[in-house]
Chains A and B, each alone.
Chain A
Amino acid sequence: MVRSHLRHSRLSGIFLEEGFRTSRNDRNRENTMDLSVSIGHLKLKNPVMTASGTFGYGEEYSEFVDLNRLGAVVVKGISLEPREGNPPPRICETPCGMLNTIGLQNVGLRRFLKEKLPYLRRFDTPVIVNILGNTVQEYVRLSEALDNAGVDGIELNVSCPNVKKAEMIFGTDKKTLAMLISKVRQSVKRAVLITKLSPSVSNIQEFSKIAEDSGSDAVSLINTIPGMAIDIETWRPKLANITGGLSGPAIKPIAVRMVWETYNAVKIPIIGMGGIMSAEDAIEFMLAGATAVAVGTANFVNPEATVAIISGIEGYLGKKGMRGVKEIIGGMNNA
């Protein structure tokens, strides 16, 4: 069966290693534990990256985290023109989670290239840029410009729940999604192309398959889940935008399930995210089938969460007598 072949090759590491160039980012040579993984042709020194929108443009957290230690930095979603974002209140905490409706506030492509990217380039860590547009053309222009600027990865945001217009539609309509990814694929020559999928679909496998078939090198899942909360004293919604995206530990079981379902449907690597607070959470995602993980809301709780999770994964592997993190990818499916 195709599926079992896929599993086998993944676990033996052949799929991940074969034919991939070694990037400039391998610093683990002196270390006996091999934490490196590959997302398409991009090699990461470890599987822990930041989730878009939770780590600013990297600089915000650089006093707490040595950015060199991260698998990759995924920056706040960038649009062609700057976006102002939604009115406050933009966030509220809910049991084991938080709702946000930032509204994709960002500095825009020009300022990102001029002011934010040069800072990130000082570090020996791949930079992945999350992008969003109102039209296919906007996504194409963004990805072209970023690819030319030499970013390591482009993550298509087709799943933000906090905008009324296009982004969400791209993520929940199969034809539109296929067309968008194919067009962007043609303009991205160097960077790996990642599609960040919406959890607001009944069948995540289908959408992952579309991403794969349309030329995506990897999928990120999941984005936040639409939700809302009401203040029972004022009878008003707790967010000015009424609804927002739910993140944090509350959504983790949903995310793990979607990673597992996707793992069994596609061959491209999965970047798993959704409520990862600890190394244990990250390992759970990898056992379900994630090749890499992204840490999001946890950064707000503990600005050093990413490095703590990297150390925790290393400790776990050591305890299990393993030599590399690739050994656990999709491990549940084999146990």
Chain B
Amino acid sequence: MSRHFKAKITNNLSLNGKNGLLSIEPLEPVINPEPGQFYMIGVSNSHDPFLKRPFSFFRKTSEGIQFLYEVRGKGTMMMKGFRDGEVINILGPLGKGYPEPGGDKTPLLIAGGMGIASVFSLVEAFAKRAYVFYGAKDKEGLLMLDGLEELAGELIISTDDGSFGEKGTIVDVLNNFLTSHFSLLTSHLIYACGPKPMLEAVSRIALGRGIKGYISAEENMACGVGACLGCAIKVKSQKSKVKSQIYKMVCKDGPVFPIEEIVW
């Protein structure tokens, strides 16, 4: 089993103008992914662009793996053009995913925008046990709602413009929720993925309320296997007694990190 494999596109579904759901079928035996892990997808055989693009493991299907993507640049534009039957090169699963919660902790899953691509498989893994907070700019940006409704214990949605769910950011919604429900929940564990400002805000809330948790980080990446040292993220050093900060690699040490480790 190799983490570098060829896969056939079985479906490339356009969800709206800029988002798509890519389904692939590996053409060789592959390693089972865990929630929070990611893959590097080869988007072209040309030299421009040439680096593989990192995508969260979204969901497993009977025939293979699915990825949720947003067209942001040259590479994802090429991805949008993938046709059924086309064969692509993939590297993965890579990195460390979300750790399993110990005991009877209540998982609070927070996704902002495309962060749902990483959080979705966790929602599925928790099978109706998790509180899911999902925010986007507008209704158009909310993806895979049917699936989430089916798999979440409770689904709380917000949009910045109020076009669907509560109006406001998902951070505000989470904060309000914790204020009103805090005494009811014996213990929580936060899992979050989304834009950097959202992750920072969620981390502050978690630290402020003494809730443990994990965030999934994002950074420009070239190799995906810890060799190029491109995807650095600043963390608190745990080894030395003296307080210090070091760089870890999002691709290998992460993408999932304990909230208390990150230096914002």
- Report which of B222, B226, B233 forms a contact with A88, defined as CB distance below 8 A: B233
Judge whether A96 and B50 touch: CB under 8 Å. Answer: yes
Which bucket holds chain B's interface residue count?
Answer: 20 to 34
Judge whether B220 and A304 touch: CB under 8 Å. Answer: no
- Report which of B51, B225, B234 forms a contact with A301, defined as CB distance below 8 A: B51
Judge whether B225 and A61 touch: CB under 8 Å. Answer: yes
Give the distance in Å from the alpha carbon of A210 to the alpha carbon of B225 in the complex. Answer: 38
Q: Does A102 contact B (CB under 8 A)?
A: yes
- Report which of B3, B47, B222 forms a contact with A63, defined as CB distance below 8 A: B3
- Report which of B49, B220, B223 forms a contact with A90, defined as CB distance below 8 A: B220
Q: Which of B1-30 contact A (CB under 8 A)?
A: 2-4
Q: With both chains docked as a complex, state the minimum distance between the C-beta of A94 and any C-beta of chain B, in angstroms.
A: 9
Give the distance in Å from the alpha carbon of A5 to the alpha carbon of B147 in the complex. Answer: 74
Q: Which of A8-16, A38-46, A50-58, A108-116 contacts B (4 or more CB under 8 A)?
A: A50-58
Q: Does A93 contact B (CB under 8 A)?
A: yes
Known contacts A98-B222, A303-B91: does B228 contact A91 (CB below 8 Å)? yes
Q: Dominant SS at the A interface?
A: loop
Q: With both chains docked as a complex, state the minimum distance between the C-beta of B47 and any C-beta of chain A, in angstroms.
A: 4
Per-position binary interface string of chain B over residues 22-44, scored 1 when its CB falls under 8 Å from any chain A CB and 0 otherwise = 00000000000000000000100
Report the nearest B residue to A91, measured CB to CB. B230
Judge whether B226 and A56 touch: CB under 8 Å. Answer: yes
Give the distance in Å from the alpha carbon of A299 to the alpha carbon of B223 in the complex. Answer: 7
Judge whether B230 and A93 touch: CB under 8 Å. Answer: no
Interfacial chain A residues near B234, Cβ < 8 Å: 87-88
Q: Dominant SS at the B interface?
A: loop
Interfacial chain B residues near A89, Cβ < 8 Å: 219-220
For A61, A64, A88, the residue with the greatest tally of chain B CB atoms inside 10 Å of its CB is A88
- Report which of B91, B228, B231, B233 forms a contact with A53, defined as CB distance below 8 A: B228
Report the nearest B residue to A65, measured CB to CB. B4
Q: Does B246 contact A (CB under 8 A)?
A: yes
Give the distance in Å from the alpha carbon of A53 to the alpha carbon of B230 in the complex. Answer: 10
For A54, A55, A61, A303, the residue with the greatest tally of chain B CB atoms inside 10 Å of its CB is A303
Judge whether A100 and B230 touch: CB under 8 Å. Answer: yes
- Report which of B47, B226, B231, B233 forms a contact with A60, defined as CB distance below 8 A: B226
Q: Does A235 contact B (CB under 8 A)?
A: no
Per-position binary interface string of chain B over residues 137-157, scored 1 when its CB falls under 8 Å from any chain A CB and 0 otherwise = 000000000000000000000
Interface size on A, residues (CB 8 A): 35
Report the nearest B residue to A58, measured CB to CB. B227
Judge whether B228 and A100 touch: CB under 8 Å. Answer: yes
Judge whether A85 and B232 touch: CB under 8 Å. Answer: yes
Interfacial chain A residues near B104, Cβ < 8 Å: none
Judge whether A300 and B229 touch: CB under 8 Å. Answer: no
Judge whether A302 and B89 touch: CB under 8 Å. Answer: yes
Report the nearest A residue to B51, measured CB to CB. A93
Interfacial chain A residues near B91, Cβ < 8 Å: 303
Interfacial chain B residues near A102, Cβ < 8 Å: 228-230, 232
Judge whether B223 and A300 touch: CB under 8 Å. Answer: yes
Known contacts A105-B229, A299-B227: does B247 contact A248 (CB below 8 Å)? no
Judge whether B47 and A96 touch: CB under 8 Å. Answer: yes
Q: Does A92 contact B (CB under 8 A)?
A: yes
Q: Does A226 contact B (CB under 8 A)?
A: no
For B3, B4, B42, B228, the residue with the greatest tally of chain A CB atoms inside 10 Å of its CB is B228
Give the distance in Å from the alpha carbon of A87 to the alpha carbon of B50 in the complex. Answer: 24
Please list the residues of chain B having a beta carbon within 8 angstroms of any beta carbon in chain A: 2-4, 42, 47-52, 89, 91, 219-234, 246-247
The 29 listed contacts between A and B (C-beta, < 8 Å) are A54-B228, A56-B226, A56-B229, A60-B225, A64-B2, A64-B4, A85-B247, A88-B220, A88-B231, A88-B234, A90-B229, A90-B231, A91-B220, A92-B220, A96-B47, A100-B222, A100-B230, A102-B230, A102-B232, A248-B47, A248-B50, A277-B47, A299-B227, A300-B52, A300-B224, A300-B227, A301-B52, A303-B91, A303-B223
Beyond the given pairs A86-B232, A302-B4, 6 more chain A to chain B contacts, judged by CB atoms under 8 angstroms and listed by A's residue number, are A53-B228, A61-B227, A90-B229, A277-B50, A299-B227, A303-B4
